[in-house]
Amino acid sequence: MSTFHEGASSSQPYKDPTPLPASIPKVKEVGATSAPLKSAAFFFGAYCKEYNEDFMLCKGENRDPAHCLKEGRRVTRCATDLITKMRENCLQQFEEHWQCLELNNQEYAPCRKPERVLNKCMFEKLACFSLAYAGLVKTIPGTPAGQTPVHEVEKPFFGRMQK
Amino acid sequence: MPPPGGFEAVQYKRNLPLRGPSGLAILGGVTALCAYGFYRVGKGNIEKRELQREKTWSRIHLVPLLLAEGDRDAFRRTQAALEREREIMKDVKDWEAGKSVYNNPRYRGAESIVVL
């Protein structure tokens, strides 16, 4: 017989090998670690905008995990699609940027050089998607009008300590 | 009688070396330096705010992806738990597995889990 444990204070990891019910379509998880995800975050926000908004609106309706499985699968498929496209077109730039993030505490400021190369590559190679998906250009919502976006500032105050 | 060629000039002026810039110049210089420093601090604060905005939005953009993945996992675990409950309670008549204790259809996350 199983005993009750507080989930947070368990001595063993909470593992449950039971697979999803067969009625739920399978989707492969993205499987990327935090640095690649952070590197792709703004492109993900632009490329998968509709799916993301759909999913979050659905979550707003009901917090039940069972309620938004379909929308969630769409989000994940879109993310996988984007990462595949990035790896097909800008593999080297992508790798350089997320490796830089990995080495710099996952902060964007010290990694502007590889980031600009990646942004340029994404803009040039994936321009055909930019019409359909409101541009694969990094834009930070809420930046005050008339101000240079922080990722395009020529001489920033904050960056790498070592040159 | 005076010596031939006259007397030497009497030194009545104080012979002090130049003591550097005047107090007013130093005060002005320090004020200017401080003003420039505060200007830089202000600019830096603006940039820091924008960097924070960038970081926040990078996380906001990733929320749906991570939430979707977590939801699938939570759903899978809930279904497995329900299946176990059904199996354990199959002999009890009129037992509804996973029935809420509240008379309210609103979703509530599990308060406790059984770690196997």
Is B47 close to A108, i.e. CB distance below 8 A? no
Selected residue of B54, B83, B87, B88 to mutate for chain A interface (largest A Cβ count, 10 A): B54
Domain membership of residue A18 (yes or no) is no
Domain membership of residue A141 (yes or no) is no
Task: Return the HEC string of chain A.
Answer: CCCCCCHHHCCCCCCCCCCCCCCCCCCCCCCCCHHHHHHHHHHHHHHCHHHHHHHHHHHHHCCCCCCCHHHHHHHHHHHHHHHHHHHHHHHHHHHHHHHHHHHCCCCCHHHHHHHHHHHHHHHHHCHHHHCCCCCCCCCCCCCCCCCCCHHHCCCCCCCCCCC
Expressed as residue numbers, the domain containing A69 is: 32-136
Is B116 close to A29, i.e. CB distance below 8 A? no
Q: Please give the residue of chain A at the shortest CA–CA distance from B66.
A: A76
Instruction: In whole angstroms, give the CA distance from residue A120 to residue A116.
Output: 6
Q: Please give the residue of chain B at the shortest CA–CA distance from A9.
A: B115
Domain membership of residue A23 (yes or no) is no
Question: Using one digit for the tens of pLDDT, what is the confidence trace for A32-83?
Answer: 999 999 999 999 999 999 999 999 999 999 999 999 999 999 999 999 999 9
Domains of chain A: total: 1
Residue A45's nearest CA partner among A121, A128, A141 is A141
ipTM value for the complex: 0.86
Domain membership of residue A114 (yes or no) is yes
Domain membership of residue A158 (yes or no) is no
Radius of gyration for the alpha carbons in chain A, expressed in angstroms and rounded: 20
Residues 33 to 92 of A: which have CB under 8 A from any B CB? 37-38, 41-42, 44-45, 48, 51-52, 55-56, 59, 62-69, 71-73, 75-76, 79
Question: Using one digit for the tens of pLDDT, what is the confidence trace for B59-100?
Answer: 999 999 999 999 999 999 899 989 999 999 999 999 998 888
Is B79 close to A108, i.e. CB distance below 8 A? no
Domain membership of residue A7 (yes or no) is no
